[in-house]
Structure 1
């Protein structure tokens, strides 16, 4: 017999995918948001494959059936987390598009790096941003299920950034810039998620410190310039 608290109604045929949460949907009790937050935290703490739907329901304090009702399968729930955070990706795309990559702008490389880095670093400092940042860092090597979520959200961003950097560094081979993007991504993910800096600095530095963002931007800018052999 079904639990009296578990919903039994089905979404109308042809309705939008159930895992989508409308912006500003916070009507109490906000069980959907509780599930989403719990999943984000657990995926960040343990990794996607080490977390079960039952774990998520227990953390959120909701019936197990409710997770499937609102979000479908675990992979759909992971996808919803990234849909919910989509705004910071769109901001990065818009900022990259706004950079003048012509020879008239001698700071084009640094401007592109800043447009790509800054929203990610600042997101880390927002409510829930730390868990999401750790989640992004964890997902890079966790298999096809996570690749299916990462690819539609982050590959367009990567391609946009690389194309803009080609304009800023016209003498640099595109494949070299692809490697540059991979190197830069590793540095950014470590900046926003790794706790080791606190230990190595004997507690003098803080993970994802926004005050260190200019240093990160300078470091990555120098790296792209070095790959281009000293061109702009």
Structure 2
């Protein structure tokens, strides 16, 4: 049996698709800030009907103020080719730079919300903030993040990602954050959803897993020697 270690949780979140959240009105009202973009590393999907998703902005950051101000946001799914733009949006604050201009993103008016979606991203979810939940640390002080539940009110996707009008995630290559410091893509398909039938080729599956595990040893050495960028309030 493989030896196991036990330790306290310290942002050891599982790999998940990285998303770019656009917030702020495309045409801001008097006194409002212009639209901005920030990065979410773990997106939640708590309910299919009604269609809900969750984001967890850091309380007090520039984008948080826009989310509260407008009550709407758009979840944009970036492809691997946008990894540097994604890093830029996560390490710069909209209070000091125009991320749309710096990254060369094209803002497109939403069908329902006033927040622009990113045209270069293959999939976009328009959302309206439905609930906000705050948390407390063990000492009673406010938690670092707040949970926002967004109701999905409209979805956009590039035509190449659709089959018979239905979104196919196999046609959407995404960026995954493998904490603490690695960006990854989804990787090859290892089978199809056949949960009600027996495993077709168990030995072939076992060989594939063993091959992947061996490659992790070299990957670990690369990770240890890779500098990790400092993130700022976005």
TM range (shorter): under 0.3
Larger relative contact order (C-alpha < 8 A, sep ≥ 6)? Answer: 2
TM-score, normalised via structure 2 length: 0.20
TM-score, normalised via structure 1 length: 0.20
Higher fraction of strand: 2
Higher fraction of helix: 1
